[in-house]
Amino acid sequence: MVKTPKPDLLYLSPVLPALAGNGLAMRAGAVLELLAAHYAVHLLIAPLYTAFDPRVPEQLQRLCIRSAIVPPVPQRSSGLGHWFRPGKVFGKTRFAVVHVFRLSMLPFAEPYLNRFWRRPARHLDLDDIESVTRSRIAELYRSNGESAAADYEETEARRQEPVENEALKKFDRVYVCSESDRQKLSGRTAAEVLVLPNAIRIPECVRAHSADDVFTFLFVGTLGYYPNQDAARYFCKEIVPRIRERATAPFLVNIVGFGDMRPLWPLIRISEVRLIGVVPDIRPWMVETDAVVVPVRAGGGTRIKILEAFSFQRPVVSTSTGTEGIAARDGEHLLIGDSPEKFAEQCLRLMGDPALGACLAANARRLVEEEYSMEALARKMARAFSV
């Protein structure tokens, strides 16, 4: 049997896709890997959110027919607020699909969307609805007394919504990471809107944490992102003292992630807090923790950090905001606390009841296997592309 050549797909991303790392890069990597099973993928990266690196890792090169990194240059500014250089990287390749990861990549995609007499299918991965997220971040700034930053975010949210509406007209299909995000786009686009949830690689064997006298909490996040900075401060300043008042055993809080940690430096004065920063591999930290905390109070999308904790069978305490878009139920898969008092109470429950933590972790592991594994994502993508 002669194999039919795969159709060509252009994948445009503002980050270097990765099989591990921060949530944005992991989503880009997971979707790219599964697309490569059905398409001849040509990867174009314009690093809008990270420092420019001209190298494409070998593991990505193996998934792609061709790949290129194009640094943004100040030729002219787009309506989305980024500088760009029109794409001429892949010559006259006739793409069956142009897949755009995030609206910030639209200026780079424009030269390819109407390039040939046969219009390519246009797909957009809108993992975050920026106008909604910025409105929430504005509220967070205002609640923290940072009015200038709040005003800026509110202005950007108002500016972003009509830009989004206009951009959405260009696409035939839009992917979002949760049903709640799909509902937020209701009435805003005529495109087909499909839920493509975030997914992770589940470790085959998870080593049990060796219990000791110190209960360890783990906070993971991109520390240069304001909602994560706020979450770390909120937990350490508002919740940790409440845990300390009632705890019958010592505990520690490890804060792990990349980004500017200077705003968090004052937290080292809290005796239980350890600012770890960047680590080469999150897995050892997951294995050696007793519980993962996700005290975020603003943001968008779904938290891959929760899915990772589920996959490592570590119990999670989160706010309702932190669990948005994830089909996890309070008391069954994790514990939820939306006030400092309630969050501290949930942490204390885990400290005093190892059986509760084990039950939550087992249920959460089953959930992530069924709904948020790479295998689950592959099934959803296969249906979406009718392969």
The pLDDT tens digits of the residues spanning 91-144 come to 778 899 999 999 989 888 888 887 656 789 999 999 889 999 999 999 999 999
8-199+374-384 and 215-371, same CATH topology: yes
Dig out the tokens for 320 from the structure: 């309702």
What contacts 319, CB < 8 A, 6 or more positions away? 294, 295, 296, 297, 336, 337, 338, 343
DSSP 238: I
Cβ(77)–Cβ(94) under 8 Å?
no
Amino acid identity at 318: S
Specify the 3-state DSSP secondary structure of 74: coil
Report d(CA 338, CA 336) in Å as an integer: 7
- Which residues in the chain come in under a pLDDT of 70? 1-4, 20-21, 50-54, 72-88, 115-117, 205-211, 301-302, 385-387
CA terminus-to-terminus distance, the chain: 18
Q: Where are the domains of the chain?
A: 8-199+374-384, 215-371
Question: What pLDDT, on a 0 to 100 scale, did the predictor assign at position 75?
Answer: 45
Evaluate whether 80 touches 167 at the Cβ level (below 8 Å): yes
Which pLDDT belongs to residue 86? Answer: 46
Q: Are strands 83-84 and 76-77 parallel, antiparallel or unpaired?
A: antiparallel
Determine phi and psi for 293, rounding to 5 degrees.
Answer: -110, 135
Question: Please, is 118 exposed, middle or buried when counting C-beta atoms within 10 Å of its C-beta (0-12, 13-18, 19+)?
Answer: exposed
72 vs 66: CA distance, rounded Å: 19
- What is the pLDDT at residue 144? 95
Enter the DSSP assignment of 3. Answer: P
- Closest by CA to 26, choosing from 157, 164, 193, 222, is 222
CATH architecture of 8-199+374-384: 3-Layer(aba) Sandwich (3.40)
**pLDDT at res. 84:** 46
Say how far apart CA 359 and CA 294 lie, in whole Å: 19
H-helix segments, the chain: 23-35, 58-63, 106-113, 130-143, 147-168, 179-184, 226-234, 240-246, 283-287, 304-311, 340-352, 354-371, 374-384
Single out the residue of 345, 321, 323, 348 nearest to residue 334, CA to CA: 323
Name the residue with tokens 């061709």: 66
- Please spell the DSSP secondary structure of 98-154, one letter per residue: EEEESGGGHHHHHHHHT-SSSPPEEEEE-SS-HHHHHHHHHHHHHHTT-HHHHHHHH
Q: Which CATH architecture has domain 215-371?
A: 3-Layer(aba) Sandwich (3.40)
Identify any residues that bridge with 98 across adjacent strands, giving them in sequence order: 10, 122
